Amino acid sequence: MKEWQFNPYHQRIDEAMETTQTPPPADTEWELWEVFQQVRRGEHHQHVGAVHAPDPEMALVLAKENFVRRGQAVNLWVVPSSCIYATSYEDSDIFQQGSDKSYREVWGYRGFRQSRVAKIKDGGKDGEG
Amino acid sequence: MTDEERLQQFEARIAAGDKIEPGDWMPELYKKQLIRLIHQHANSEIMGALPEGTWIPYAPNFKRKLALMAKVQDEVGHGQLLYRAAETLGKTREQMTEELLSGKSKYSNVFNYPCETWADIGIIGWLVDGAAVINQTLMSEGSYGPYSRALKRICLEESFHIKQGYDIVITLMSGTRAQQAMVQDALNRWWWPIIMFFGPHDKDSVHTETLMRWGVKPKSNDEQRQEFLSKFLPKIWELGLTVPDPEIRIDETGFVHFTDPDWNEFYAVINGGGPMGPERLAVRRLSYQETVWVRRAVEGKRVGPVPQMA
């Protein structure tokens, strides 16, 4: 019986060792595309990362391969990264709220409502405090 | 603002658990170390596909073949995500590709060892990826936003790699004596490369201090190694396997005592002296050279002569 031998030749190691001692130069400088994934219909697209590609079709193919290998998606967007305009983290104070704006928040109305309703039910009076 | 004040602000943000983003001010050393680290990590994902890829044609059945192909494909995808994270710091993917192909930038030593039998695929998936997940889960809590986000995605996929490796090992260990011996042999050969996977001891690690100070690396090499050993040793023993270290034991505090690996080998392999070092790079170069036509086709250019196959 012929003895079984491991054959690494499909990786062509011998050939590689003989022919490719000098590295080939990198030959792509593809544009960057930001990828947005929509998990279910009706939901927002969400940013998941970016891919390099020479055109939008290829960017979509690569986005699918990179980001939807598992999990689900119903739709993908790709947008050239150069088209993204962003605020600066340095200026993040623009998001700070200068004064008390609790009146525009749900939590600004928490708690005391229940006790006021209870008072009313008890026949008590509740005036503006 | 002076650089001194910026640095203080930067360190305060890291201390508060804030993520640093690409446009933010950061010390040059932080940037340099991150580029080095993420670049090497990306290289490792790409080169890691080679030892396992060797076994795709020899997988014992179709399901194993599909699983192994999926795993190898995952690794290459992880490489893409990580190169992207490194790019946000200003180094191009092309530069990183060139440095990998020329041997200038490193990748994990563990991929410079040969993959001799099918049991190696089990041991690599279970223990090498097991070690990698411990490392990457920690690093995913790190301070640099793009790297941290890439790692979170990667860790989800790596858990499948561990499961498929563990499943191969369990299957072989419940098989014939010869199959069991094959697993033991694989474990014996991979043990020391795995112990060295976490890098030199803290006292000898040149980069650890900077990386820990700025929250890139939440735990040191030795701490990660302990975490790995205390998690996996009981599982190894449970299957009736032994590790090739007569001194190894877990003491009553849970601390694992083990023999120090041969660190000279570690440094020799880093510098290209690994048993498979030159072959791995040569195969990577050949593959890059022969896929020129794919990159051209993707660009919609004329493909030109297809490289001659031997």
Give yes or no for A4 touching B (CB within 8 A): no
**CA atoms B2, B8, B12, B14: torsion sign:** positive
A15-29, A105-119, B192-206 — which is least confidently predicted?
A: A15-29
Task: Kindly report the number of other CB atoms within 10 A of residue B252's CB atom.
Answer: 5
Of B206, B196, B186, B208, the C-alpha closest to B265 is: B196
Bridge partner residues of A80 (DSSP): A33
Average pLDDT value for chain A: 82
How confident is the model at residue B303, as a pLDDT? Answer: 65
* Partners of residue B81 in chain A, C-beta under 8 Å: 49, 66
Question: Rounded to whole angstroms, what are the CA distances from B202 to B34, B82, B109, B216?
Answer: 18, 25, 18, 15
- Angle made by CA atoms B300, B301, B305, in degrees to the nearest 5: 130
Over residues B29-54, mean pLDDT = 94
- A129: confidence class by pLDDT, cuts 50, 70, 90: very low
Q: At what angle do helices B28-53 and B277-290 cross, to 10 degrees?
A: 90
Å from A102 to nearest chain B CA? 26
pLDDT per residue as tens digits for the range A55-79: 999 999 999 999 998 889 999 999 9
Task: Kindly report the number of other CB atoms within 10 A of residue B210's CB atom.
Answer: 15
Pairing between β-strand A31-38 and β-strand B256-257 as defined by DSSP bridges: unpaired
Residue of B nearest to A25 (CA): B98
- Flag whether the ipTM exceeds 0.90: no
Nearest to B94 among A15, A28, A89 (CB): A28
Nearest to B282 among A20, A27, A55 (CB): A20
Give yes or no for A58 touching B (CB within 8 A): yes
Angstrom distance (rounded) from CA A104 to CA A100: 9
State both tokens at B226: 């302990």
pLDDT per residue as tens digits for the range B153-190: 999 889 999 999 999 999 999 999 999 999 999 999 99
Give yes or no for B150 touching A (CB within 8 A): yes
Angstrom distance (rounded) from CA B208 to CA B246: 29
How confident is the model at residue A3, as a pLDDT? Answer: 57
pLDDT per residue as tens digits for the range B209-263: 888 889 998 899 999 999 999 999 999 999 999 999 999 999 999 999 999 999 9
pLDDT at B1 over 90: no
pLDDT per residue as tens digits for the range B57-76: 999 999 999 999 999 999 99
pTM: 0.86
Say if the Cβ atoms of A49 and B81 lie within 8 Å.
yes
- Angle made by CA atoms A75, B78, B61, in degrees to the nearest 5: 95
Size of interface A-B (CB pairs under 8 A): 90
